[in-house]
Structure 1
Amino acid sequence: MSQSIDVKNLNVYYGDFLAVEDVNVKIDARSVTALIGPSGCGKSTFLRTLNRMHEVIPGAYAEGEVNINGENIYGPGIDPVNVRRRVGMVFQKANPFPTMSIAENVLAGAKLNNKRMSKSEADQLVEESLRGANLWEEVKNRLNKPGGGLSGGQQQRLCIARTIAVKPDIVLMDEPCSALDPISTLAVEELIHELKSQYTIVIVTHNMQQASRVSDKTGFFNIAGTGTPGKLIEFDETTKIFNNPAKEETERYISGKFG
């Protein structure tokens, strides 16, 4: 588990529209990388290219390379479904399956991948994944209750448990705390910090304080104007991005002068 990502000359399109232009970046294994920038600058679009999720949108495609552990996931013969097994995604809005119990939610991805398990193996995977998501102690006595009955913060951690139950190498998070209260946000941030010992994590966030708290490196995306592509302006150690950015554009955004 936990692999590096090496992006080379990546261009992302929605039909004829170039949404993200010429991204070149290396993301370290077992680290947290935050992507920041104003709305509409391509952060989430770029994130979805890392597991080929953007291709679900009709007409969307990418050119260039995304190398995970040295293999280009856009190479010939690469199955996007297999890519998504290796690169999990946690979405902005917690999305537990409402008709499933807490335990069934955790096992959903593994079962979708046709993984056959005995009851004892399934029980072990549920406990391991919920412990990994710092949720086990809160739900261990109600595993058969609906996942939708949990609080918003618990639902988001349940979705993280569902993601890590599939044993991915990389976990992508698209604004995972945007709908959460401060206490639930702190719980998810603490979880991200713990998970990076096993996974490579890339998180999109509009909360710059969150980016400075949870990430090792930060990428700043920006857009020149409506109808122009988003670009990765600067990528560096988080402390440098927030304290001594190399680009004036980054400094203006960090300091709140625009965006």
Structure 2
Amino acid sequence: MSKSITAKDLNVYYGDFLAVQEVNINIAPRSVTAFIGPSGCGKTTLLRSLNRMHEVLPGARVEGQLLLDDDNIYGPGVDPVTVRSMVGMVFQRPNPFPTMSIRENVLAGYKLNGSRMSKSQADDIVEDALRGANLWNEVKDRLGKPGSGLSGGQQQRLCIARTVAVKPEVILMDEPCSALDPISTLAIEDLISELQQEYTIAIVTHNMQQAARVSQKTAFFNIAGTGKPGKLIEYADTSTIFNNPSNQQTERYVSGQFG
């Protein structure tokens, strides 16, 4: 479990529009990498390309290579559904399935894949995933209740449990705390640190303090202007990005001069 991610000369398009240009990056296994930069600079587009989620939009495509370890996820014959089972995603707003119970939410990935299992196997998966998301003790006595009845922070941890239940190798997080209060945000950040022991994690965040707290590496993206492609400006250890960046654009952004 846990794989490296390598982008080589990666261009991401929506139709004829080049959204992200020539990204070269290597993300180590069992690490947390933060994507930062102003709105519209391609952070989320790049994140979604890491599990081919951007392809749900008509005309979306990539050029270049994107490797999980040594396997190009955009290679000929590669099934996007298989890629998404290996690279899970947690979205900006908690999105438990509203008609499903807490238990059913955790098992949703298996149900969608048509997997068969015994009740005891399902019970073990549910408990392991909820423990992995630090949610088991809070919900173990109400697994049959709707997931939508949980607090916002609990719902986001339920979505993380749903992601880890299917045993991915990479977890992508798109501003997972933007809709949460400070206490719930701290719980998610603590959880990210624990998940890092098993998973490769990439997180988009507009919160500079959060990037500094949770990540080992930070990638700064910027855009030259409206209609221009987003570009990776600097990628380095998080401490370097925030304390001694090599690019003036990075320094101006992390110091709050723009963005």
TM-score, normalised via structure 2 length: 0.99
SS at match of 1:178: coil
In the alignment, the residues of structure 2 paired with residue 34 and residue 217 of structure 1 have an alpha-carbon distance, to the nearest angstrom, of 6
2:82 aligned residue: 82
Match of 2:240 in 1: 240
SS of alignment partner, residue 35 of structure 2: strand
The CA deviation at 1:71 is 0.3
Matching residue's letter, 1:202: A
Q: How does 1:22-171 map to 2 (within 5 A)?
A: 22-171=22-171
Secondary structure at the aligned position of 1:209 is classed as helix
1:157-201 deviation line (CA, Å, top 9, x unaligned): 000000000100000000000000000000000000000000000
Give the Cα–Cα distance (whole angstroms) in 2 for the partners of residues 186 and 31 of structure 1.
19
**Residue of structure 2 in register with 1:181 after alignment:** 181
Shift of the alpha carbon at 1:37?
Answer: 0.2
SS at match of 2:194: helix
Which residue identity lines up with residue 192 of structure 1 in the other structure?
I
Deviations, residues 62-105 of structure 1 (Å, cap 9, x unaligned)? 11100001000011110000000000000001000011000000
Q: State how far apart, in whole Å, the 2-side matches of 1:91 and 1:11 are.
A: 23
Deviation (angstroms), 1:116: 1.1
Q: State the match for 2:207 in structure 1.
A: 207
Tell me the alpha carbon deviations over residues 134-170 of structure 1, each in whole angstroms, 9 at most, x when there is no partner: 0000000000000000000000000000000010000
RMSD: 0.5
Question: Tell me, which stretches of 5 or more residues in structure 2 are unaligned?
Answer: none
Deviation at 1:110, TM superposition (A): 1.5
Q: Distance in 2 between matches of 1:227 and 1:27?
A: 28
- Matches of 1:95 and 1:184, distance apart in 2: 16
Q: What is the Cα deviation at residue 23 of structure 1?
A: 0.1
Alignment partners' CA distance in 2, 1:74 and 1:107? 28
Write the letter of the residue equivalent to 2:18.
Answer: L
Distance 2:200 2:113 in 1: 21
CA distance in 2, matches of 1:131, 1:42: 34
Q: CA deviation at 1:246?
A: 0.6
Q: Percent identity?
A: 73
CA distance in 2, matches of 1:167, 1:36: 27
Runs of 4+ with deviation above 3 angstroms: none
**Structure 2 partner of 1:193:** 193
Work out the number of aligned pairs and report it. 259
Deviation at 1:113, TM superposition (A): 1.6
Quick one: distance in 2 between partners of 1:172 and 1:232?
Answer: 18
For 1:135, give the aligned amino acid: L
Aligned mates of 1:141, 1:90 — CA distance in 2: 25
Residue 202 of structure 1 aligns to a residue in which SS? Answer: strand
Give, in whole Å, the separation in 2 of the partners of 1:97 and 1:54: 21
Where structure 1 has 5 or more consecutive residues not aligned to the other structure, the ranges are none
Code of the residue aligned with 1:68 in structure 2: it is: L
* Rounded Cα–Cα distance in structure 1 between residues aligned with 2:75 and 2:146: 40
Partner of 1:252: 252
Quote the Cα distance in structure 2 between the aligned partners of 1:85 and 1:69. 16
Structure 2 equivalent of residue 2 of structure 1: 2
> What is the alpha-carbon distance in structure 1 between the residues aligned to residue 209 and residue 110 of structure 2?
34
Report the TM-score, using the length of structure 1 for normalisation.
0.99
